[in-house]
Amino acid sequence: MPMKTLKTKCSVAGCGKRAHGKGMCQSHYNQQYRKDPSRPKCKFARCEKPVHGQGLCNYHYTKRWFKKRALDPSRPKCKVDGCEKYVHLKGLCGTHHNQQYRNHPSRPKCKVADCEKPMTSKGFCNDHYYKKIKRDPSRPKCKVRGCEKLVDHVGLCNYHYTQRKERDRSRPKCKVVGCGKRVVSKNMCNKHFNQQKLKVQRNKLFTILGGVKCVQCGYSNELALAFDHIYDDGYRDRKLRILDFRKYLGNPSLARERLQVLCANCNHIKEIKRRIAA
């Protein structure tokens, strides 16, 4: 009769996972390994991260691997018509594979009320999961003196982490012509990346709300169009102090219920009528 193996639990207080190595579960073991000061540093200039493989940290090793893979002429193209990208998984490029995965009907929805996005982790969609993490009071504070924000990356809050990337002279310059700032994300500096992100979000929201035209007069110049709150409750969004449409992009029915596209004239007329009625 075979002997039963003893399933020991992780030695970290409050963790009920099975032990993997040195009395810890896989997650806590990896955390301790990453923070081990005896590990050598990445050989890439000015990178302080520990080595992951071939003398490089995980970021630079993965970046080199993807660059080498992208130049391989033997890789087939994505099977979606008109797409020239190389195959990543299941005959699709990374973009189309992620789209197919996100929109698959078998994936459960986020457990937050009125959220129609698919679940990604611990019952939440990606946005609500990271919001929950950012509000966790047990997270350490940013290591910059006087900063009370919670850590987001490598001991820094998101603001100071972005600042450090912008000042890193080893990083390439923004791809926008005439911009001399350093790359932060997608080959663009922080300013141009946020502008591009906002433009993409606006275009998606226009599509949800029926197109780039005023719902009252039909004016179609995008520069003079705005997203108006039908029930004059825009103060709820302004309390967030950030211009972000993800709340409505993730819930199209909520967007159609609360928002409409108005030109500057129709929006001003609506505001005058509201004040007269008050």
pTM of the model: 0.53
Write down the pLDDT at residue 269: 93
| Structural tokens at position 242 | 């950030």
CB neighbour list of residue 99: distance below 8 Å, 6 or more residues apart: none
Count how many Cα atoms sit within 13 Å of the Cα of residue 21 in the half-sphere of its side chain: 8
Write down the pLDDT at residue 225: 93
- Rounded Cα distance between 19 and 39, Å, is 23
CA dihedral 139, 143, 147, 152 (to 10 degrees): -50
Write down the pLDDT at residue 241: 53
Dump pLDDT digits (tens) for 132-184.
877 777 788 888 888 888 887 788 888 888 888 888 888 888 888 888 888 88
Averaged pLDDT, 6-32: 80
Write down the pLDDT at residue 80: 85
- Rounded Cα distance between 266 and 272, Å, is 10
> Does the pLDDT at position 244 exceed 70?
no
CB-based contact 228:259 (threshold 8 Å)? yes
Give the start-to-end residue ranges of the domains of the chain: 38-71, 191-277
